[in-house]
Chains A and B, each alone.
Chain A
Amino acid sequence: MIDPHHHVGSDDDFSDVANAIAADSAGSGSGSGAEAHTGTNGPVDTLDEEPSWSEFWGGWAMYKEAVYSGAIAGLSLGFLSVYVVLRRMVFVSAAVTQAAGLGVAASFWVAIHFGISLNPAWGATFLSLLTAVLLAGDPKRLGLSREMVLGMVFAFTSGAAVLIGSRIPQETGDIQAILFGNAVVVSPEDLQRLVWTSAGIIALHVWWFRGFAFASFDPISARVQGLPVRMLDLILLLSVGVMVGEVARALGAMPAFAMSTLPGMAALLVVRGPLPVTFAVASILGAMSGVGGYLLAYKKQFSVGPAQTVVAVSLVVIAALVRLGVGVGVRLVRRRRRLAE
């Protein structure tokens, strides 16, 4: 069990860590990474000037789990993001992410008010899964559309997270950190869980790739041909739910949402090749968002989650420009050829 009061992203930002490293290199002898990352509002002289990369490598032992987590989260959510985008499930991802945030807040609330120590990761994953299952159902039986259910779930989870947050003011910083992502340091336990979860989900998706693709993009023919379309749909939604829950806990809800949507968009803009290549490129772009965002946050002293989100958005913009440029280039070449003929 992880004590919710020791959420890795809670009190951490790069200024605290930089101070700890500075103190360590000044010979204090007590500034080990493990101690440093729980430090709070110390002097922040280092904010005035950008930290150097040599300092980063000096603190690599402390940063590495967070960097690896960003890469793995981006890799796996980037893969799933292709389904999220192509199946027009972006709002599903938003609702699941919001539910993960509520799960974390609820874990803190239960721990404080009932004295029951709940792992926020389980809270995030449980509510993400619950939302995924709810959204996998057929709301038409109740006379509702999926959009209606999505709207209700999103509104409820957003409102409930704020309400619960207001009841635990002493943890507001932690909850904000989780919702927006400030994972300067990730615990080895969180990284390990992220690795195993990602590996399991990606292995299943690679193994069943043909089934997921057929059932996702041509569900009617897939049903006629006897594929278990509903089961595949449910597993896909659960995959998104589990991964978003894990990533929201480890890195924050904002980067979890960004990585579960934006890499897929970027890949679809630049890849003209077969479907598996699109998934591979989305995974790579997701990993680039996770790692690139972390490095940007380190260099510019930003919060990690928003930096990862900004990098993911930037990749979409770059992809759109590349596509535009290629399109213009192709048209120019064709025109020249026509003129030459």
Chain B
Amino acid sequence: MTEAREAEADRWAEGEGGETVVDCKKLKRGCVWLVVGRNGSGKTTFVRTVLGLLRPISGRVVQSSQLRMSYVPQASTIDGTVPVRGGDVAGWGRLRGWGFLRPWKTSADWTAMRRALGDIDASTLERRRFGEMSGGQQQRVLIAQMLAGDAEVAFLDEPTAAMDATSERTTYRRLRELVHARGMAAVVVTHAVAVAAPFADHIAFFDPDDPSQKGGRVHLGDAAEVARDPRFIDFFGVVHAGTEAVGHDEVAGEHD
């Protein structure tokens, strides 16, 4: 097996005091990161800050226009009255920067959009009106949008919040397979720790109440390791983490 390739990224977030919280250069391709913590611990704020949607309270976010990023929000912000179809929304994933200066979709755009919808078992939603889909179907289309854009690093905020338990597990399994197969890094904010943890390679546990450090602490590391942390167990109980994760070394070899 070859060594895992690191995503060519130079975007990172620094916490208070200049401490680097996440360095995307260290987000290995083919890896799934879980961001977990109690309500209000700052998970979503952290992701939105890294993405440049919010200004950091302190520290800085360094961005690179070369890095292909995607974001799947908790719930779609697309108004239900907008007459767009699943294929349109997934196809927007292909638009980056000033790409809209080309007014038409290429055959590669169509192929990528259809492949992405197919990958997430949402091909039937291509011609369906987005506003008429269920929350779970909309989330699948948004995941397809992320896949269609060939993102190098994808941030997903509660991507299964509107799904039932079975769909949730299926989606995480599929997501893990796709992340590995496509050689991307995925950072997933979730409350469904027990469901998602088995598919994670790494976990970032936001623990604002950790008494060992003023202002709390972010426990970062290998999924199984973080899941054994007493603070983590105090909060989430015993969960099986990383048991269904595919070693990124193995997958990275496929892309070399």
Contact = CB atoms under 8 A, between A and B. Distances in A.
Describe A's contact surface by its main secondary structure.
Answer: helix
A270 B89 CA distance: 21
A171 to B, nearest CB: 42
A221 B81 contact: no
Interface string B89-111: 10011011110110101000000
Interface in A224-279: 224-228, 268, 271-275, 278
Interface stretch (A51-59, A149-157, A204-212, A311-319): A204-212
Contact of A208 (B79, B88, B101, B155): B101
A275 B83 contact: yes
A268 B81 contact: yes
Contact of A220 (B65, B71, B79, B83): B71
Interface string A209-221: 1111110011111
A223 interface: yes
A222 interface: yes
A208 B78 CA distance: 19
B51 A224 contact: yes
Contacts of A88: 79
B145 interface: yes
Contacts of A207: 101, 103
B96 A228 contact: no
Nearest to B88: A275
B100 A208 contact: yes
A220 B77 contact: yes
B157 to A, nearest CB: 10
A86 interface: yes
Contact of A224 (B53, B76, B89, B101): B53
Contact of A214 (B65, B95, B103): B95
Given A210-B103, A218-B78, A271 B51 contact: no
B95 A225 contact: yes
Given A217-B78, A272-B129, A278-B83, A223 B95 contact: no
B84 A217 contact: yes
Contact of A227 (B77, B82, B85, B97): B97
A217 to B, nearest CB: 5
Nearest to A228: B98
B84 to A, nearest CB: 6
A214 B53 contact: no
Contact of B97 (A226, A273, A275): A226
B145 A214 contact: no
Contact of A221 (B70, B85, B98): B70
Contacts of A273: 83
Contacts of A86: 79, 81-82
Of listed A210, A212, A228, A278, residue having the most chain B CB within 10 A: A210
Given A220-B53, A225-B95, A274 B88 contact: yes
Contacts of B52: 223-224
Interface residues of B, number: 34
Contacts, number: 90
A67 to B, nearest CB: 31
Name which of B69, B95, B103, B145 has the most chain A CB atoms within 10 A of its CB: B95
Given A220-B71, A268-B83, A227 B88 contact: no
B83 A225 contact: no
B73 interface: yes
Contact of B100 (A210, A223, A224, A271): A210
Contacts of A268: 81, 83
A141 to B, nearest CB: 11
B73 A220 contact: yes
A221 B81 CA distance: 18
B194 to A, nearest CB: 29
B198 interface: no
A209 B88 contact: no
Contacts of A211: 95, 100-101
Contact of B84 (A212, A222, A275): A275
Contacts of A227: 95-98, 100
Contacts of B76: 218
Interface string B26-61: 000000000000000000000000011100000000
Shortest Cβ-Cβ A-B pairs, 9 listed: A211-B100, A224-B71, A226-B97, A210-B100, A214-B92, A217-B82, A225-B96, A278-B83, A224-B51
Interface of A: 86, 88, 206-214, 217-228, 268, 271-275, 278
9 contacts: A86-B81, A211-B95, A221-B145, A223-B53, A225-B96, A226-B96, A227-B98, A268-B81, A275-B88
